[in-house]
Structure 1
């Protein structure tokens, strides 16, 4: 089922689009949380630290994959909104070729460099072996991550956010059973958690592919679409690579933060891992709202409706900030209780540290409502390079806090690194987004004048 967003109430359309996307994101994080909960409760705090010790590099690599796939979907949404279906199909095919190339290169490089990556992250010796086996398996599953995220990005670009959610829901349920089977029955330890995760991701991607082949005639490629076209590849790379790098550049700052935290010992690694799982889960609505705003604005850019682009930005930020305030209150008052999902009551030091991280973060959660929406709308309008620079500002801010203050203030500095990055990036991207909307408005007005003069 496809949905055009160029007509109708903007807020209603965005919320309808965002809801299944939100549920899908929550499910994706749910099986990450289930991995961590089963590992922490059954295998212990050190095993939990092993799974979480490389989370920043996973975010860097997998974030690049997901960001690139999201970027490749932007031109698809634009040409779908402009009702240029054949051109849209050209972009789908060429995006598929690019995704295959990315999958091969990243899987090979990351698998070979896995030991060096763990060394850079200062992973403690007592958890190194489990951390290595977990990370290596996750890297070997990169092609499945790309398969699901690219196909779901294409479906969302034509207004279908419900189907990717349904398949993700099925794989999330399966992941629970695979976790228990691999860890409890087969006793594969941390490696079993990784095997369950990539297996679930593979199933959701394959289901998306089967659905497109059988049901989505709109996305079927003709013979003339299945050719590599230089101008199409160039535009896809111009959108996808900056978007992927945006995630990766942000993750570099997270790597610096995780490396600094790993140096504080396995207690803080466990606390950081538990807090990050909760953080990633509560950030899902921000991602859903921002993606919805991006697709809305991209389709309306293709349709030449700049007034609706402005309304989309306002609606997205209003909803995002409202959610951020509510989620922040939850993290401030219930952080310790939520952390007990991953470690037992006896791990007092771990629970105290995790609760402190979440409490400090909660006071600034509202800023993500502005940051994520403004960044994704900027990308959806075609200014992906400017969206990337907001990731650079995040990286610099996190790096400064971690390298400059962890040595003096310890874990307290870690607790304020994210907030510093968010506020810094927001101060850049929000006015930039407004500038991009004004520039797009002038561009469309100029095109309209030329068309009228020619007629």
Structure 2
């Protein structure tokens, strides 16, 4: 099928397709975590605490920028997915052209402005003076890499919108591998490479992202991907203001949601820090495990969003419902199993971060006994919110997150703390997660006027005289019957 290498997410067995799509996404997430760990390892060994402090401060700015861009890239992903599902290649290419111009312009502007304002940004953050010079050097190179980082992330998300999650994984593997190799070489000046100090760590990101992005674009062009516009279609790079408005208006709530989560995490950490270094270290060790426990649900959430977007575009809302059921059951299974394993060997695993004789170790075990199970309802809520967002209904998931974090989790911790001490903080996690599930589930099952099932990003209907584009068969009716194979899958998932 010309121009499209990913599977058709609007047909075939849901469970098998969902797992096949989610595994490369999970692999990409794990690779990014490993990359950050490896970079921090080299910086800490070569430059010590000052280098770690500088890197952490600069990285906070970098992650904030990525979080802000995440919403718009996700909106572009959903738009492309809905257009692909609707077999409307003309609209898909129009979205791709506008998104390409938008992300190039946005990333260049952020890169230039960020480089100029770097000292002021770090001063506003209160970066310790001893680490500020290194932080400035690091962050300025990171801002220079921002155009490559933003456009790389956009292309990865866009490929998932077309139904292809494997190609982004392969290039993420290449990017992380290059970054890990270049980091010590540029940091310490090994062999023919210049000794750049902390700027070398950031330069490795710039070089690895630049090389990988170039190779990815060459690969997509040679594969005749719909994401790479040929010279004859360069007129589509002229931005469509309606599409830009849709990406920004739909992407902003998703970006705000990322910030809401980050600010809530910082607030909870401030509560923890009041109990001293042992409790703080225990919480830090426990949260390291939480990062990996959440990954399967996050990968499944990305998969169901892409699958749902294509099926929404195809008008197969009954299949969207089945994607939600299978995705939610898989979230319970693939979040619950790691939790069971961790609960069985908790002290052993935590010793990767804490000494066996550390007073923090039993505290960390206690924290996990209370809070670890909260990621099961959170994972299911993440799936349901991903389904809802795939239609373009982006404000209700944001509202649910704001309520569960800022009206429930944080107040519960604050109100119960005088009575329960630190346990109030750990109990606030399952209470907040259950609230998120109740709100997300309530909105998902609500089918009243203005519900998410009636929401759409844009009009996806192809014109009546549009030629066959090779994107697939004509749009199926919404009342598509469930197949015997899908019935068996639903039964197996329910039993699981």
Question: TM-score normalised to the size of structure 1?
Answer: 0.81
Q: 2:337 and 2:151 mapped to 1: Cα distance?
A: 34
Counterpart among 203, 210, 223 of residue 215 in structure 1: 223
Counterpart among 272, 278, 282 of residue 293 in structure 2: 282
Asked whether the 8 Å contact 1:56–1:258 carries over to 2, the reply is: no
Number of the residue aligned with 2:251: 240
Structure 1 residues 417 and 50 mapped into 2: Cα distance closer, same or farther (>3 Å)? Answer: farther
Local SS of the residue matching 1:379: helix
Structure 1: runs of 5 or more not aligned? none
Counterpart among 371, 378, 396 of residue 386 in structure 1: 396
Bigger CA radius of gyration: 2
Aligned pair count reads 444
CA offset digits 1:281-316 (Å, max 9, x no partner): 332211210111111111111111111011000010
Mapping of 1:24-423 within 5 angstroms?
24-38=28-42, 59-104=63-108, 106-107=110-111, 108=113, 111=118, 113-116=120-123, 118-119=125-126, 138=142, 141-182=145-186, 193-197=201-205, 199-221=207-229, 222-261=233-272, 274-341=285-352, 345=355, 348-349=358-359, 357-396=367-406, 397-400=408-411, 415-416=426-427, 418-423=429-434
Give the deviation of 1:144 after TM superposition.
3.2
CA offset digits 1:402-445 (Å, max 9, x no partner): 6667799776555455444333222211221233699465689x
Deviates more, 1:243-252 or 1:108-117: 108-117
Number of the residue aligned with 2:480: none
Give the deviation of 1:272 after TM superposition.
5.1
Structure 1 residues 223 and 435 mapped into 2: Cα distance closer, same or farther (>3 Å)? Answer: same
Structure 1 residues 2 and 58 mapped into 2: Cα distance closer, same or farther (>3 Å)? Answer: same
CA-based RMSD: 3.9
Question: TM-score normalised to the size of structure 2?
Answer: 0.75
Structure 1 residues 333 and 146 mapped into 2: Cα distance closer, same or farther (>3 Å)? Answer: farther
Q: 1:245 and 1:207 mapped to 2: Cα distance?
A: 32
Structure 1 residues 360 and 42 mapped into 2: Cα distance closer, same or farther (>3 Å)? Answer: farther
Give the deviation of 1:318 after TM superposition.
0.4
Local SS of the residue matching 1:364: helix
CA offset digits 1:206-253 (Å, max 9, x no partner): 433232233234233313422222222222223222222221222221
Q: 2:84 and 2:454 mapped to 1: Cα distance?
A: 22
Please tell me whether residue 16 in structure 1 is matched to residue 24 in structure 2: no
Q: 1:146 and 1:375 mapped to 2: Cα distance?
A: 24
Structure 1 residues 83 and 376 mapped into 2: Cα distance closer, same or farther (>3 Å)? Answer: same
Asked whether the 8 Å contact 2:78–2:390 carries over to 1, the reply is: yes
CA offset digits 1:123-165 (Å, max 9, x no partner): 7888777777666655554333312210011111111111100
Q: 1:407 and 1:413 mapped to 2: Cα distance?
A: 8
Q: 2:289 and 2:310 mapped to 1: Cα distance?
A: 33
Local SS of the residue matching 2:446: helix
Structure 1 residues 169 and 141 mapped into 2: Cα distance closer, same or farther (>3 Å)? Answer: same
Asked whether the 8 Å contact 2:413–2:427 carries over to 1, the reply is: no
Asked whether the 8 Å contact 1:53–1:258 carries over to 2, the reply is: no
Asked whether the 8 Å contact 2:381–2:437 carries over to 1, the reply is: yes
Q: 1:192 and 1:364 mapped to 2: Cα distance?
A: 40
Number of the residue aligned with 1:432: 443
Deviates more, 1:6-15 or 1:233-242: 233-242
Local SS of the residue matching 2:163: coil
Q: From the two aligned structures, give the one with the greater helix fraction.
A: 1
Deviates more, 1:350-359 or 1:418-427: 350-359
CA offset digits 1:318-350 (Å, max 9, x no partner): 00111111122344344554455456x388356
Asked whether the 8 Å contact 2:279–2:360 carries over to 1, the reply is: yes
